[in-house]
A and B are shown apart, each in its own frame.
Chain A
Amino acid sequence: MYKKIGTVVLSSFLAVSLAACGSTNNNSPGTESGASNKPVETDGATTPAKNDKKTKIVYWTGDRHDMDYIKEVVQSFNETNPGNIEVEMVVKTDDYDQAIDLAFASGQAPDLFRVKENTIKTYVTKGYLAPIDGLMTEQMKQQFPVIQDFNQIDGKMYSLPNYGSTLRLVYNKDLFAKAGIAAPPTSLAEMVDAAKKITEVGKADGAYGFAQNFKNADSAFGRSARVIAEVSGYGGFGYDFKTGRFDFAGFKEIIQSFKQMYDDGSTLPGMESLDIDPLRAQFAEGKLGMYISFSSEPGVYKNQFPAKIDWAAAPVPTIDGTVKGASSFLGGQWLALSSSSKNQEAAWKFMEYMYGDEILKTYHEKGFGISMVPSISAVAAKPDINGIEGFLPNDNDATWPLSPAVTIEGIKYNDAFFKYMLGDGDLDAIIQDLNKRYNAALDKAIASGDVTTVAKPDFDPTKLGAN
């Protein structure tokens, strides 16, 4: 009898606890998103005293480099805004794009969030963003440049520019001097030669001429081959805007030069599996002569890996030493409103505040990013950060139009080029195969209506003029 009672009690207990487990599990995606809705980096700074009448909005960003400053801005908005709006700032640095998808899929999207040049158009197609044309004042319309496909999509504005990124050759001045090289290379041949000379004088101390972050070939070539192609007059992603077709022939000499440096032994050993941060760490230690990257590097060498060397940035080399195209100035967008926000008006108030002159000016001057807003860059002082001089936009920095996104069957061009670099193969045949497959994918995308392309025979890569 006792045994029976014991069994019943135990069973009931187990049933209740299992049900509890079940409900925990069923709720887990919500709980997780709910938890992530809480400010990751807030310590009370962005959430003032509780008040029931406050309109609460959530702001997500994937940017870590400007976090402390933006936190201050959010706090000041929370304390001073007359509309009793309270902003919760969420900094998500890992898998930000996936977190956004998940948040929209589970109906827990932020009210406004950071968008980038390679996500804004997709987000518009996915229906995540609300147009802001009706909210913008006349003054704002005058102040912020419209950049096709990067903030204005299908005739509607979805975001406004704040800062942009330029691409440069980052070089170690000490190693260049030691190798007797007077100036940073301006052509591929000079780059190959410089890498060789630096390795000759540096190898004994573990220093090498050149490196790329090949842990991810897209990321490596996306910051190097891409911009060399652009300044040489070719589309950085293999798309020829003149013909409206893909043609990777422009990459031939660039990839050959990269292979030459690899075969010469002028590249950092182990770069085949190198991520960008370990590469930067080696550069900061003086073990690397040069590499190509974005204008975020000065911040990295100030905060993340304090550089122990004298370094600078210079325009990237072109194929033959002659500039035939603009160097990418990436950006054109920063914040965007969520289409599913229930407090769009409050979210816009905060967005307007974030785009205030003083905030954008300070952002530029503190060196978090180079302003893309002409009225700001005209009055702002030079950013207070070592190494930024070389990254500041010049006449040849401009935004290239958006290359069409296509779904490739088989190996992608960056992987194919990297494979060629490490082994042998017929580069012409590889390029031919890439052209064939990329154009087939383009035709398919056009046929399905996902992409519309127009050949622009008079497209001039030297006259992109976003500045």
Chain B
Amino acid sequence: MNKARQMGFSYLFLFPSLLLTVVLGIYPLGWAIRYMFYDYKGYGEARFTGLYNFRRLLADTQYWDSVVNTFIYAGGKLIVTIPLCLLLAVILNQKLKGRNLLRAIYFMPTIISSAVMAVVFFIIFNSYNGVLNQYLLKFHIISERIDWLGPKNAMMTTIIIAIWGAVGNYMLLFLAGLQNIPNDVYESASLDGANKRQQFWYLTIPMLGPVLQIVIMLAIINSLKGYETIMVLTEGGPIGKTEVMYLYVYKLFFPTPSSGAVVDQQFGYGSAVGFTTAVIVGIITLVYHVLSNRMNKMQ
């Protein structure tokens, strides 16, 4: 009886979130899965086209370019963000004066709206009167303005902004992980003669393992899904150089208004592209999960 009541309670607690998941998660997913096989503009008749949207997707070079761009964007962001966050977390975990203030400063970008961030960074990076170019010229570091948002540099610039935006968040997670490592471990290591570097490699990293594993997984998913800052900063341009997968999907559902021409929404094709993108992100996450688990077991 007690057990049944306990189960009842569990289901009672699960019900609201289950309801929300069904209404806001599963129902839209079912909707998208249905329209993947249709030609549908959001109004009028939805025409069944079978696998046509997927055949179109295979030949859609703009989409596959956006997949490559997403990998460059996510890769560039992760390679810098994860080590940097770990380093900052280790430094700020020590007994430093003003460490709380520093933690707050590093965390601040996380709570700023990504759209506002993008506008501010446009003021910094734009090539004709951007603050960055002005200072670089003033201090004679460069002699010609650098086109930070031009076709050659736009991706690098968006990665820099993404790193800035992500550092505080992951640093905080690492910090939480570090604070769970008991001090006695370090004390006994010191007694055994281990220096700081050895302590970091042989104590901190292994003991942070589970946190590291989760944080990297979250970082991968977030990087592959992120598009908001890019949408405001470059709209995926110039000439698609910063177009990432989810921005491409977004534009199929909500095309940017043009000057005068009638623009149609592509709900059917957008659903097919969105679903494929979700599968790509899912596969990458799964591969990472399996690999990291295997490495854990090997250790």
Q: A residues near B, CB below 8 A? A: 11, 14-15, 18-19, 21-22, 25-26, 97-98, 101, 117-119, 121-122, 125-127, 206, 214-219, 222-223, 226, 236-237, 268-270, 272-274, 278, 282, 287, 294, 328, 330, 402-403, 405, 407, 409-411, 414-415, 418-419, 422-423, 448, 450
Given contacts A125-B44, A270-B147, contact A218 B261 (CB under 8 A): yes
Chain B residues within an 8 Å CB radius of A407: 41, 264, 266
B150 and A97 contact, CB distance less than 8 A: no
Q: Is the CB of A15 within 8 A of B128?
A: no
A222/B238 in contact, CB under 8 A: no
- Whether B264 lies near A236 (C-beta < 8 A) is no
Tell me the complex Cα distance, A274–B130, Å: 12
Contact A405 B263 (CB under 8 A): yes
Q: Chain B contacts of A122 at CB under 8 A?
A: 43, 262, 264
Contact A222 B259 (CB under 8 A): yes
Closest-CB distance, A19 to chain B (whole angstroms): 6
Binds A, one of B54-62, B83-91, B205-213, B272-280: B54-62
Q: List 10 A-B contacts (CB under 8 A).
A: A22-B19, A118-B262, A127-B43, A269-B127, A272-B238, A273-B154, A278-B122, A287-B128, A419-B239, A450-B44
- Among residues of A, the one whose C-beta sits closest to the C-beta of B41 is A407
Contact B154 A118 (CB under 8 A): no
Determine whether the beta carbon of A409 is less than 8 Å from that of B56: yes
Which of A21, A218, A270, A403 sits near B16, CB closer than 8 Å? Answer: A21
**Complex Cα–Cα for A97 and B24 (A):** 23
Q: Nearest chain-A residue to B44 (Cβ)?
A: A125
Contacts of B150 in A (CB 8 A): 270, 272-273
B interface residues, how many (CB within 8 angstroms): 50
Are A282 and B42 interface neighbours, CB within 8 A? no
B 162-213 contacts with A by CB, 8 A: none
Contacting residue for B12 out of A15, A127, A411, CB 8 A: A15
Shortest CB-to-CB span from B6 to chain A, Å, is: 11
Q: Which of A21, A126, A272 contacts B151 (CB 8 A)?
A: A272
Residue on A with the closest CB to B266?
A: A407
| Interface residues in B128-157 (C-beta closer than 8 Å to A) | 128-130, 145, 147, 149-151, 154
CB-defined contacts of A14 to chain B, threshold 8 Å: 13
**Interface hits, B42-95 → A, CB 8 Å:** 42-44, 47, 56, 59-62
* Whole-angstrom distance between the Cβ of B232 and the nearest chain A Cβ: 10
CA distance A206 to B129 in the complex (A): 9
Contact of B16 with A222 in the complex, beta carbons under 8 Å: no
Is B240's CB within 8 Å of the partner chain A? yes
A386 to B41, CA, bound (A): 43
B260 at the interface (CB under 8 A from A): yes
B277 to chain A, nearest CB (A): 18
Contacts of A294 in B (CB 8 A): 259
Set of chain A residues within 8 Å of B24, measured between Cβ atoms: 25
Chain B residue nearest to A407 in the complex (CB): B264
In the complex, the answer to whether A236 meets B238 with C-beta atoms within 8 Å is no
A215 CA / B282 CA spacing, docked (Å):
31
Asked whether B237 lies within 8 Å of A273 as measured between CB atoms, the reply is yes
Q: Which chain A positions have C-beta within 8 A of B292?
A: none
Give every chain A residue within 8 A of B128 (Cβ-Cβ): 206, 268-270, 282, 287
Q: Which residues of B are in contact with A by a Cβ distance under 8 Å?
A: 9, 12-13, 16-17, 19-20, 23-24, 39, 41-44, 47, 56, 59-62, 122, 126-130, 145, 147, 149-151, 154, 233-235, 237-240, 254, 256-264, 266
Contact indicator A215/B237 (Cβ below 8 Å): yes
CB-CB under 8 A for A18 and B16, given A125-B43, A222-B261, A407-B264: yes
In whole angstroms, what is the CA distance A402 to B24 when docked? 39
Of B43, B129, B240, B261, chain A has the most CB atoms within 10 Å of the CB of B261
Q: How far apart sit A432 and B206, CA to CA, in the bound complex (Å)?
A: 60
CB distance from A422 to the nearest CB of B (A): 6
The residues of B that contact A219 with a CB separation of less than 8 Å are: 256-259
Q: Across the two chains, which residue of chain B brings its CB closest to A206?
A: B128
- CB pair B238 A118 closer than 8 Å: no
A126–B265 CA distance with the chains assembled, in angstroms: 12
Whose C-beta in chain B lies nearest to the C-beta of A25?
Answer: B20
A98 contact from B16, B147, B254, Cβ within 8 A: B254
If the complex has contacts A217-B237, A269-B145, A273-B149, are A405 and B258 also in contact, measured as CB distance less than 8 A?
no
A26-B23 contact given A218-B256, A223-B259, A273-B150, CB 8 Å threshold: yes
Given contacts A11-B9, A101-B42, A402-B262, contact A415 B20 (CB under 8 A): no
How distant is A320 from chain B, measured CB to nearest CB, in Å? 24
| Smallest beta-carbon distance A106→chain B, Å | 14
Interchain residue pairs A-B with the least CB separation, the first 9: A222-B259, A218-B258, A270-B127, A272-B238, A405-B262, A273-B149, A22-B16, A126-B43, A18-B16
Identify which of B61, B127, B234 contacts A215 (C-beta below 8 A): B234
- Indicate whether A226 sits within 8 Å of B154 (C-beta atoms), given known contacts A15-B12, A25-B20, A415-B240: no
Which single residue of chain B is at the shortest CB-CB distance from A217? B237
Report yes or no: A409 in contact with B44, Cβ–Cβ below 8 A: no
Bound-complex Cα distance A409 to B60 (A)? 8
Known: A405-B262, A411-B62. 18 other contacts (CB 8 A): A15-B13, A18-B13, A26-B20, A117-B260, A118-B263, A122-B262, A126-B44, A215-B237, A218-B259, A218-B263, A222-B261, A226-B259, A270-B150, A272-B151, A294-B259, A403-B261, A403-B262, A405-B263
